[in-house]
Structure 1
Amino acid sequence: MKLYISSLIFLVLMSLSSFSQSKEYELIVPGLTIPWGGTFLPDNSMLITEKEGKLIHFKKGKKTEITNVPTVYLRGQGGFLDVKLHPNYRENGWIYFTYASSQGERNGGNTALMRAKLKGNQLVNTEVLYKASPNTTTSYHFGSRIAFDVENHVYFSVGDRGSRDLNPQDITKDCGKIYRLNDDGTIPKDNPFVNNKNAKKAIFSYGHRNPQGMEMNPFTNEIWSHEHGPKGGDEINIIKKGKNYGWPKASFGVNYSGTKFTDKTSIPGMENPIHYWTPSIAPSGMAFITSDKYRKWKGNLLVGSLKFQYLSRCILKDNKVFKEVKLLKDIGRVRSIEQGLDGYIYVGVENLGIVKLLPK
């Protein structure tokens, strides 16, 4: 009898454990392949970019494909990338996109920033605000995330496009940079290199490898970004005006073969990361929790892992990652993260869709 009761209790506990794990998230938007970016319209419906070149409007359980989207250069890591609403979207209607584009000279493509408005089920008033050059047929390191600061400057990232020894440390060249523009695409007069004759005037910071996460920290108003290292050395950085973030002169990573390309992890005059991962997690997506839905998690930073397929909850202390907790383990490649207008966190997972993270 005692053995029977013990077995019954064990089965009940296992059932409750399984139920708890299954309720860690709720699938909201099924049937997506690579939901690279997402944002919420004022009615809490979603705009979702599919890397292959589609823009999906998800509203009241229905997916509608938006027309007149930009033609993307679909190659390797390149495609339709991020999407972000202007902070004053209710007044001006502007939506911003980054994508790999083949426009311009040479074969191949590079990262572009455009803005447009949504009218019905199509984009209108499309404007390309910036196009990195030159085009190249390499298939990796396009970036690219979008963020706004409190003055409505638009920031966007472009990876080094695989030319680590040419692009990131050279401010006369695009790529391996984070850029800052006025919201209409003009160059801010106080950008750090506007008075440098040969520099790319849109550059805000340089020495980056492949930034695929960027957000304004709503508690400090600083721009935070993370980027892929090589083998080891994925980083989180606080982006500062005109600063050099070291790639490839300094890194905690090594070549994929295991050989070193630098013996330095820090160089005077270059910015150090506030956190790094070794081994690399392949970070993608970033969001700060500002709502009260998750109680003690408010103020935490969320980062997705493509490589290990989980959501990292980074507990912050004095602008450092004090501790990490893994959520949604083995859910799939976590590509994008957004906090909805309802206060819940929504996570884009490759070959699954958009899931809502449920409070525990």
Structure 2
Amino acid sequence: MTAARLALSASLAALLTAPALAEVVETEHHSMTVERLAGPLEHPWSVAVLPDGAMLVTERPGRLRLIVDGELQSEPVSGVPDVRAGGQGGLLDVVLDPDFAGNRMIYLAFSEAGEGGAGTAVARGRLTRDGATARLDDVEVIFQQVPKVSGTSHFGARLVFAPDGKLFIGLGDRQQRERAQDLSTTIGKLVRINADGSIPDDNPFVGQEGALPEIWSYGHRNIQAAALDPSTSDVVAIEHGARGGDEINYPEVGKNYGWPVITHGVDYSGEPIGVGKAAEGMEQPIYQWTPSIAPSGMAYYTGTAFPEWNGDLFVGALRGQMLVRLDIEGDRVVGEERLLEGTIGRIRDVRQAPDGSLLVLTDAGDGALWRLTPAVTD
């Protein structure tokens, strides 16, 4: 690490105890101000911005927190379903219903205990706020990964609504890799359901014997990011590889994305996985990282605050402790810039705020919500 980067890392790390301060960081196209907005948060996983500018943040141990005017409210949101917290499991993604302004519904992905161990589940509830306090009413579980299995890893759990109101759920293989190819389970799958948990009639495996009708695509290892491509409205998903082979995919209806038969990575032992990097009938990623950056959270930039970034894809990284900016042309990545590398910590989630700023969460016991805005110059 260069002396300049060491100095930047020390400077930004100091912000962890000084939330009112900010640091200016230079990038290829913009100068940006990096500001610690709220914290400490215990292993925060996801952030959602409410129409009035308040924010909801999930903490992995099982708390849903409310941030109002940049202040973290002391009382967690009540009514959150019970979670099986441990390892990578807990309270994970949070998204708003597309008609939130009318129905006040939010959706939570979490690890749920049950016979056999645990699995990813999705619940929805109606958010009610009274000043600094908030609660969830009418909470119901609308999806449960099957089967539940032992272990505390690879829950996936990213949620994204399509323009037609269908909900996509990115799932992990729960470290039972062979089941990612088994259509009788939702392990290692991308699932598509209606907002009430029912199954759309046009899902690819509806009516197929031995296949679960909620499956959209399969052969995924651990989907840790999902978003809509703003140019096509297609779902884009990013998943962790093992040692290398983190993938960006445009999951198409009914297709097989290969895990664990094909991968661009190798096992943690260094041994090969499957048959290699390609096989007939299995899709290739549009982009992959080897060595792995452990991607988590993603957002396409569509705002005006950073005009040179319009259309770019931002991806958080855990292992790399950075925010990755990808220059996108169509469905191709033509450039990559690594921001905040080794400075503020493991970036778990990234979202665009309505004002065009970027919000990032750092995953740590004393994690925080950070805001990136254009630097003001004299």
Name the TM-score, length of structure 1 as normaliser. 0.92
SS in 2 for 1:209: coil
Question: Secondary structure at the residue paired with 1:144?
Answer: strand
Q: Please, which of 263, 280, 285 is the counterpart of residue 268 of structure 1?
A: 280
In 1, the alpha carbon distance for the partners of 2:25 and 2:374 equals 12
Q: 1:71 aligns with which of 53, 68, 82?
A: 82
Gaps of 5+ in 2: 1-6, 12-22, 27-31
Alignment partner of 2:127 out of 118, 122, 126: 118
The match for 1:10 is none
Q: Match of 2:163, SS?
A: coil
Alignment match, 1:173: 185
In 1, are the aligned partners of 2:205 and 2:212 still within 8 Å (CA)? Answer: yes
- For 2:371, which of 342, 356, 360 is the aligned residue? 356
Does the CA-based 8 Å contact 1:24-1:328 persist in structure 2? no
**Is the 1:288–1:302 Cα contact (8 Å) retained in structure 2?**
yes
Aligned to 2:3: none
Cα contact 1:44–1:342 (8 A) shared by 2: no
Q: Does the 8 A contact of 2:241 with 2:265 survive in 1?
A: yes
Distance 1:132 1:271, change over 3 A: same
Which amino acid is 1:240 matched to?
Answer: E
Partner Cα separation in structure 2 for residue 79 and residue 276 of structure 1: 27
**SS of equivalent to 1:271:** coil
CA contact (8 A) 2:313 2:328 kept: yes
2:216 touches 2:253 (CA, 8 Å); kept in 1? yes
Q: Distance in 2 between matches of 1:269 and 1:137?
A: 31
Gaps of 5+ in 1: 1-13
- Whether the aligned pair in 1 keeps the contact of 2:24 and 2:34 (CA below 8 Å) is no
- Report what 1:152 is aligned to: 165
Contact conserved, 2:226 with 2:297, CA < 8 A, in 1? yes
* Alignment partners' CA distance in 1, 2:35 and 2:137: 33
- How far 1:158 moved relative to its partner? 1.3
**CA offsets, 1:96-133, max 9 Å, x none?**
1100000x322x21100111111121110111011112
Segments ≥4 residues shifted beyond 3 Å: 18-24
- Secondary structure, aligned partner of 1:145: strand
1:129 maps to amino acid: I
State the alpha-carbon separation in 2 of the partners of residues 110 and 118 from structure 1. Answer: 25
Q: Secondary structure at the match of 2:157?
A: coil
Q: Deviations over 1:222-279 (max 9, x none)?
A: 1000000000100000011111100011100101011112242122221110000000
> For each residue in 1:11-47, what CA deviation from the matched residue of structure 2 results, as whole angstroms up to 9, or x when unmatched?
xxx99xx863396411111211211011011101100
Q: Residues of 2 paired with 1:20 and 1:342: CA distance? A: 19
Spell out the pairing of 1:222-301 with structure 2 (5 A cutoff). 222-301=234-313
Higher-Rg member (1/2): 1
Of 91, 95, 107, 1:80 maps to: 91
CA distance in 1, matches of 2:37, 2:77: 19
**TM-score of the superposition, structure 2-length normalised?**
0.88
The percentage of aligned residue pairs carrying the same residue is 40
1:48, distance to aligned residue in structure 2 (A) = 0.4
Distance 1:293 1:266 in 2: 41
Does the alignment pair 1:206 with 2:218?
A: yes
Q: Which amino acid aligns with 2:25?
A: Q
Do residues 41 (structure 1) and 50 (structure 2) align? yes
Deviation at 1:320, TM superposition (A): 1.3
Q: Which of 55, 74, 98 does residue 64 from structure 2 map onto? A: 55
Residue type matched to 2:81 in 1? P
Distance 2:25 2:200 in 1: 48
For residues 172 and 215 of structure 1, the distance between their equivalents in structure 2, rounded to whole angstroms, comes to: 26
In the aligned structure 2, how far is the partner of 1:72 from the partner of 1:329? 32
Q: What is the match of residue 139 of structure 1?
A: 152
Amino acid at match of 1:145: R
How far apart, in 1, do the equivalents of 2:42 and 2:336 lie? 28
CA contact (8 A) 1:284 1:305 kept: yes
Separation (CA, whole Å) in 1 of partners of 2:161 and 2:279:
29
**Residues in 1 aligned to 2:70 and 2:100: alpha-carbon distance in whole angstroms:** 23
Aligned to 1:163: 176
Deviation sequence 1:156-203 (CA, Å, 0-9, x none) = 1110000002x1001111210010001111100000001112211111
1:345 alignment counterpart: 358
Q: Which amino acid aligns with 2:98?
A: P
Superposed, 1:88-107 pairs within 5 Å as: 88-102=99-113, 104-106=114-116
Kindly provide the CA deviation profile for residues 56-103 of structure 1, in whole angstroms up to 9, marking residues without a partner as x. Answer: 01002332310111111012111100000011111122111100000x
Using the alignment, how far apart are the partners of 2:367 and 2:62 within structure 1? Answer: 17
